[in-house]
Amino acid sequence: MSAASAVARRVLASQETGLVIVVAALVVVLSALAGSHADRLTGATVNNFLNSDTLIQVATDASFFAIMAIGATIVIISGGIDLSVGSIYALSGVSMALALRALGPASSWTMTLVAIAASIGVGVLCGVLNGLLVVGLRVHPFIVTLGTMWVLRGIAFVATKAESILVPAQLTGVTKASLGLRVGLYPVPMLVMIAMTIAGWIYLTRTVMGRHVFAFGGNIEASRFAGLALGRIQLGVFAVSGFTAGVAAFLGASFYGSASSGDGQGYELYVIASAVVGGASLIGGKGSAIGAMLGALLIVMIRQSIRTLHFDQNYEWIVIGCAIIVAVVIDRWSGGMTARRLMRIT
């Protein structure tokens, strides 16, 4: 078999290729069923789904989930889970807004730097806290992050007195920059999502730390005998998860112009669903940053399809729950097939 054929077979067999096909098929179906309307400015016929406004809006909505899903995927690959990402998102966002309120009038660049430092800094600290509790207490990450999910949101609630904190318009102008596109199109969150996906892919596939995460999640005993610093790996994956939640909080609070303790409620469902639908195995040792991004896109497109086709939006939770179950079943089935294939070879 030639090298080109081997690469082509590997690409076609990957989880990401299957997700790309599903996303493309959903785009085709929605474009066919969504109908069309006349553009108010040009009079041209425009598809209700396949147009620049809707597509960039879908990418923008997906960006906040996808960025956090990359960090959550790294945690899941290590065999853990992080239920506190929504609360970290809320606390990072309100910390950023409060820091900007304390800063007062300043240039856009100064505000941006302070906002990034506050949001990402708080996110990383929350992630490190999760990691320290998991490693120090030797308690399952599910229990630890379930507790910190409530604690961190409670801190955000107390700090803001349940008020919504406005973000300066200058900062909103940064995240809503058109970057040369026509007015109303805001590509910054989408571009950050792509950049974070590339960084996550490099981290997991091209660094020693990424290989250690896979080793830790795939076989913890073998990792221990190999001399890997297991506590440091666990601490690191939760710090990365907190970092991605901080990045998403900076984008979200800046984009929407405010932050409150109620932000990010239910985000843990979307984030974990994006990771699982993207191919991350809940038993650890499997997952990818690209899959997390595609999983987030697919879930947001499912939400968008419910709106575009004028279905009852209450079905959104049912559809996403079914998507998680189907993804887990497919993962177990493919894992079983691989194991049987290896047994026949040996």
How many domains are contained in the chain?
A: 1
Domain span at 108 = 71-264
Can you give the pLDDT at residue 243? Answer: 97
Minimum mean pLDDT among 38-42, 212-216, 281-285, 338-342: which range? 338-342
Question: Does some domain include residue 102?
Answer: yes
Instruction: Tell me if 25 is assigned to some domain.
Output: no
Structural domain includes residue 161: yes
User: What is the Cα–Cα distance from 194 to 43, expressed in whole angstroms?
Assistant: 33
Q: What is the mean pLDDT of residues 247-272?
A: 91
Per residue in 263-314, pLDDT tens? 988 888 889 988 988 888 888 888 899 999 998 998 888 887 887 777 777 7
The three-class DSSP label of residue 221 is: helix
Rounded CA gap, 204 and 211, in Å? Answer: 6
> What pLDDT was estimated at residue 211?
92
The answer to whether position 125 is within a domain reads yes
Calculate the alpha carbon distances from 171 to 111, 112, 116, 252 in Å.
7, 6, 11, 11
Q: Which amino acid is at 30?
A: L
Residue 212 forms part of a structural domain: yes
| Residue 86 pLDDT > 80 | yes
Answer whether residue 32 is part of any domain.
no
DSSP states along 118-160 = HHHHHHHHHHHHHHHHHHHHT--HHHHHHHHHHHHHHHHHHHH
Q: Pick from 44-53, 113-122, 173-182, 319-328 the range whose average pLDDT is largest.
A: 113-122
E strands within the chain? Answer: 36-38, 45-47, 165-166, 258-259
Say what the pTM is: 0.88
Mean model confidence pLDDT for the chain: 85
| Mean pLDDT across 126-142 | 94
Q: Specify the residue for token string 């102008």.
A: 173
Which position has the token pair 């909080």? Answer: 249
CB of 75 closer than 8 Å to CB of 233: no
pLDDT tens digits for range 223-248? 888 888 889 999 999 999 999 999 99
pLDDT at 93: 95
User: Is residue 256 a part of any domain in this protein?
Assistant: yes
What confidence score (pLDDT) does residue 5 get? 60
The rounded distance, in Å, linking the Cα atoms of 254 and 115 is 9
Any idea what DSSP says for residue 90?
H
- Asked if residue 259 is part of any domain, the answer here is yes
Instruction: Report pLDDT digits (tens) over 135-191.
Output: 999 899 999 999 999 999 999 999 998 889 999 888 888 888 888 777 777 889 999
What percent of the chain has pLDDT above 90? 44
